[in-house]
Amino acid sequence: MHLSLLSSDPERLGLPSGSHLERLVHCRASHAMSMKARQLGQATHEDSEAAQQGTRIHETLHTGNLEELGPEERELAEDLRRQELDLLSEWKRDSTVQERREERFYLRREGHLFPIFTGQPDLVFSQGNRALIIDRKLGRRQVSAPSENWQLRAYAVLLAQADPGLEEITVAIQSPFFKYQPAIYGCEELDQFHRLILTVLASLSDPGEPMIGSWCTFCPGSMICPARSKERNQLAIPVQELPSGTDAARLLEMVARVEAVCDQIKAHYKAQLETDSSCVPGWRLQSSSRRWIPHPEQAFERLIEQFSVSEFLECTSVSVSELERAWASKNNVPTAQARVRFSRYMGDCIAEKRVAPSLRQTTNQHSI
Ligand code: SF4
């Protein structure tokens, strides 16, 4: 194995990584299951639209060229950039800060050349024997707080191994949707996490049965996992009487996981049908076209002799969020205050209607 491969393609080497540690701690089998799913071309959650958006925003934050993003993504990126500056100015004690962006770190067993674990934090700042790790989360799903987040613990261990002079590592999560309190780890905690990571890695060759729980959400092996398959079968058994209380929470978690696998199965065959339209007998992709007017002013010019302004406007719809964004930017209103201030300014020009509530899980306490 050539050393240059390590920096170019850690996934292909099959190294477990920091972003998977939370799942590995709870389900050791997920590593082998993910590798097998990749070999079969049935890995899930690795190329979703949300993952692609995250990559786009991360990349532009790295290059600093936010112009490549659409208005909504640019707003998210600007928010994250502001949070980074705030966090850094609170954390640093003077202006001499060393910065590493998107650097990949590796963990090796003592005396061994090849790594057994890897991780790539978004941002690392260091100052003397202290460091700050920032991980950006762009999803709308709340993750574990930094004080109990295994991904951040993994990054802290990887950094401490790469830089043994560090005695204190602060870990923080930035998110446009949730606020997370940073956590500070000292040498003792880092040693403890290091030992646990080695124990988890040592058990991957004999991982036992897959263990279902909230950590399954982004598992690449979910389509081929026998435990998830068993769960789907359980759900197929007609439920005589729907349970209540904790059992209801458990059942809803199961329904959500089964739905997620079904979505992934559909996405898998959709991708296959895109390349070979006859590969699944009796199924085909059906597309429909959408029409829209990208430049309303041009359309109005075209119709000006037949339509008055109000007749034309009656046929248009205005995006409240886009108008609000434009208004906030014209009036230098911070994003966090834009909604309230714009609503107050517009008064009854904005209509509001409650939409049907959707089911949302708030905690994962009832995982099997
Ligand atoms: S889907 Fe869940 S239970 Fe199955 S391997 Fe992945 S994490 Fe484990």
pLDDT in tens, 203-218: 998 999 999 998 998 8
Distance 212 CA to ligand 1 centre (A): 6
Which tens digits make up the pLDDT trace of 80-105? 888 899 999 999 988 789 999 889 99
Mutate to test the pocket of ligand 1, among 46, 215, 253, 254 (most ligand atoms within 8 A of CB): 215
Distance 219 CA to ligand 1 centre (A): 6
Q: Locate the ligand 1 atom nearest the alpha carbon of residue 212 and give its number.
A: 3
pLDDT at position 6:
46
Q: Locate the ligand 1 atom nearest the alpha carbon of residue 225 and give its number.
A: 4
Q: Locate the ligand 1 atom nearest the alpha carbon of residue 23 and give its number.
A: 7
Cβ atoms within 10 Å of 176's Cβ, excluding its own: 18
Secondary structure letter of residue 17 according to DSSP: B
Cα angle 26-163-193, degrees, rounded to a multiple of 5? 20
Residue nearest to atom 5 of ligand 1 (CA): 30
Residue nearest to atom 1 of ligand 1 (CA): 222
- Cα separation, 217 vs 39, in Å, equals 20
Q: Which two tokens stand for residue 141?
A: 């799903």
- Cα separation, 196 vs 133, in Å, equals 20
- What residues form DSSP beta bridges with 133? 124, 171
Distance 194 CA to ligand 1 centre (A): 23
Distance 227 CA to ligand 1 centre (A): 7
Distance 319 CA to ligand 1 centre (A): 41
Span 358-363, average pLDDT: 77
Question: Is the pLDDT at 7 greater than 50, yes or no?
Answer: no
Of 30-39, 48-57, 151-160, 285-294, minimum mean pLDDT range: 48-57
Q: Locate the ligand 1 atom nearest the alpha carbon of residue 226 and give its number.
A: 4
The helix/strand count (H/E) of the chain reads as 13, 7
Span 17-41, average pLDDT: 93
Distance 19 CA to ligand 1 centre (A): 15
Distance 85 CA to ligand 1 centre (A): 37
Higher pLDDT, 240 or 329: 329
**What amino acid is encoded at 128 in this protein?**
G
Q: Locate the ligand 1 atom nearest the alpha carbon of residue 215 and give its number.
A: 7
Question: Is the pLDDT at 350 greater than 70, yes or no?
Answer: yes
Q: Distances from the Cα of 317 to the Cαs of 314, 322, 349, in angstroms?
A: 8, 12, 13
Which tens digits make up the pLDDT trace of 161-187? 999 999 999 999 999 888 999 999 999
- CA neighbor of 170 nearest in space, from 81, 93, 78: 93
Residue nearest to atom 7 of ligand 1 (CA): 216
Alpha helices in the chain (DSSP H): 3-8, 21-26, 29-40, 49-63, 71-91, 150-162, 187-202, 226-236, 245-275, 296-303, 309-314, 320-330, 335-346
Distance 223 CA to ligand 1 centre (A): 9
Q: Distances from the Cα of 141 to the Cαs of 13, 38, 74, 119, 137, in angstroms?
A: 29, 25, 20, 21, 9
Ligand 1 cavity residues, CB under 6 Å: 23, 27, 29-30, 33, 210-212, 215-216, 219, 221-222, 225, 227-228
